[in-house]
Amino acid sequence: MVATNPIAQGAPVSYQPAEGEAYMGDAQRTYFRQVLQDWKQSLLDEVSRTVNHMRDESSAFPDPNDRATQEEEFSLELRTRDRERKLLKKINEALAQIESGDYGYCEACGVEIGLPRMQARPTATLCIDCKMLEEIREKQG
C-alpha cells in the first residue's frame, strides 16, 4: 500500500491561518515541517515492515503456483517501495526548501503556491497555472 498524503488521511488537522498571517511565516513552516516529517516517518516505517515481511516470508514453496504468487506479491511490494523512495526524495527536498525559505513558492514563476494546494500536496513545487502548462506540454510530446 502506498502511503498517501497524511493531510488527506486526516493525520493532522488542516492548517487554519490567523487573520492577517503572512504566507509561509513561522507557524505555517512549522506546520508543514511537521506534516512532512510525519509523512517521511510513515514511509520509513513501511520500508521496515516490507523488509521484515519479505525476510519472514522468503521460504521456498514446493508448489510452483505458490512460489509464483509469492514472487508476484514481492514484486508488487518492491514497486510500491520504489514509488515511495521517489516520494521520500520529494519530501526531503520540500524539507530543505522550508529551511531555505523557498517552500510554498512556485519554482517556475515565483508566486505563492497557496495553502489549499500545499495542504493537498505538501511536496508541490509549482503553482496550479504552471503545473497545468507543464501537463499540457507533456501531452503535446
Structure confidence at residue 132 (pLDDT)? 97
Residue 127 assigned ligand-binding role: yes
Q: What is the extent of the structural domain holding 133?
A: 104-141
Structure confidence at residue 5 (pLDDT)? 57
Domains of the chain: total: 2
Query: pLDDT (tens digit, 9 = 90+) per residue, 27-85?
Result: 999 999 999 999 999 999 988 887 777 776 666 677 888 778 888 888 888 888 889 99
The C-alpha angle with vertex 22 and arms to 5 and 41, in degrees rounded to 5, equals 25
Assess if residue 7 is contained within a domain.
no
The model carries a pTM of: 0.78
Across the range 103-127, mean pLDDT stands at 97
For residue 31, the domain's CATH number is 1.20.120.910
More confident residue, 40 or 18: 40
What 3 state SS string does 25-63 have? Answer: CHHHHHHHHHHHHHHHHHHHHHHHHHHHHHHHCCCCCCC
Assess if residue 11 is contained within a domain.
no
Structure confidence at residue 58 (pLDDT)? 64
Residue 106 assigned ligand-binding role: yes
